[in-house]
């Protein structure tokens, strides 16, 4: 698998350090709020798993899977809920945990949905931010790294469902796409 990677963008150590930093910040900001951390599947699963272990407060976890209508490289902003939350968000302090914000269309839809369900607050933590591609005014409340406008894989991020288990974040070799 690793032979398909052209360049490592973020090493395992760099990711771990950043996730710890975010976890400590969230520990301060969410003290006594018993936040509901919502993992947006599938891409955010390693990030969520590591992040909550750096949050030294009571919290709850839930999982949601969405898929965007439209072609595979461009999200359309019309989102289908593939798996909804198990519990109600009413009155809860919700923290949406994302792998990457690209256009921001998927997340805008999700935020509107959660606010419409009367959460007490809804904030976003993303590991990666690709601001060059943003078509919405959306800004994450907490963000790990800004990445350039390249397709990245690893640490949850996939190409055709592969590479999610790569322990770092990298860029694929051209020939992998063209094969």
- Residues noted as catalytic: 102
Cβ neighbour number for residue 173 with a 10 Å cutoff: 14
Nearer to ligand XMP, 56 or 146 (CB): 146
| Residue 105 near residue 136 (C-beta atoms within 8 A) | yes
63-82: contacts with ligand XMP (CB under 6 A)? 75
58 three-class SS = coil
Kind and range of the H or E run holding 19: helix 12-29
Partner whose binding site includes residue 4, from Mg ion, ligand XMP, none (CB under 5 to 8 Å by kind): none
Total residues contacting ligand XMP by CB under 6 A comes to 16
CA 39 – CA 128 distance, rounded (Å) = 14
Site string for ligand XMP, 115-154 (x = CB under 6 A): ------------------------------------xxx-
* Residue 55 vs 107, nearer CB to Mg ion: 107
Task: Give the span between the Cα atoms of 67 and 83, in whole angstroms.
Answer: 10
Residues forming contacts to ligand XMP in the complex (CB under 6 A) are 43, 75, 99-107, 151-153, 157-158
């Amino acid at each position: 698998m690793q032979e398909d990677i052209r360049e490592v963008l973020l090493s395992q150590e760099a990711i771990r350090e950043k996730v710890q930093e975010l976890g400590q910040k969230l520990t301060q900001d969410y003290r006594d709020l018993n936040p509901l951390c919502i993992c947006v599947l599938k891409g955010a699963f390693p990030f969520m798993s590591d992040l909550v272990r750096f949050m030294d407060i009571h919290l709850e976890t839930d999982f949601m899977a969405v898929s965007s209508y439209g072609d595979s490289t461009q999200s359309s902003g019309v989102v289908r809920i593939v798996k909804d939350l198990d519990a109600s968000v009413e009155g809860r302090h919700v923290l949406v945990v994302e792998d990457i914000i690209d256009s921001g269309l998927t997340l805008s839809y999700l935020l509107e949905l959660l606010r419409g369900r009367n959460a007490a607050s809804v904030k976003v933590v993303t590991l990666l931010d690709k601001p060059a591609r943003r078509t919405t005014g959306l800004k994450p409340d907490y963000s790990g790294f800004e990445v350039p406008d390249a397709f990245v894989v690893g640490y949850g991020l996939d190409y055709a469902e592969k590479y999610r288990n790569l322990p770092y974040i990298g860029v694929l070799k051209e020939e992998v796409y063209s094969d």
